[in-house]
Structure 1
Amino acid sequence: MAVPKKRTSISKKRIRKNIWKSKGRRAALKAFSLSQSISTRKSQSFVFEKNQLNNERLEESESV
């Protein structure tokens, strides 16, 4: 026979919810940090293709 489960306390519910939210915040912060480092070209964790970088720099210097 099926027995109903005990109810989860509000504090446990909040703890789990906060952990879930903090994982999202951390992922967003990491993505934002990576995008900043890529845009300033000072990234150490992201690999650029040298040909692509040289082409972009040439285009920038020609437009100026």
Structure 2
Amino acid sequence: MAVPKKRTSISKKIIRNTLWKKKGYFTTLKAFSLAQSIFTGNSKSFFCNKYKR
């Protein structure tokens, strides 16, 4: 028979939510930083051709 689980406290819910949002924020920062370095040509870890003919 199914037993109902205890409810998660609001503070735990808020903590998990902020951690989830922070993870996305840092991922976007990394992506933006990589895009900037590629655009300026200063990238050392990513190779791409700027001019395609």
- Length-normalised TM-score, structure 2: 0.84
Higher CA-based Rg: 1
Q: How far apart, CA to CA, are the structure 2 residues paired with 1:25 and 1:16? A: 14
SS where residue 43 of structure 2 aligns? coil
Gaps of 5+ in 1: 60-64
Q: Which residue of 1 aligns with 2:40?
A: 40
Measure the CA separation in 2 of the matches of 1:11 and 1:44: 42
Structure 2 segments unaligned to the other structure (5+ residues) = none
Moved over 4 A (4+): none
TM-score (norm 1): 0.71
Aligned to 1:62: none
Higher RCO (CA-CA < 8 Å; seq separation 6+): 2
**Percent of pairs identical after alignment?**
62
For this pair of structures, how many residues does the alignment match?
52
Tell me which amino acid in the other structure corresponds to 2:14.
R
RMSD: 1.7
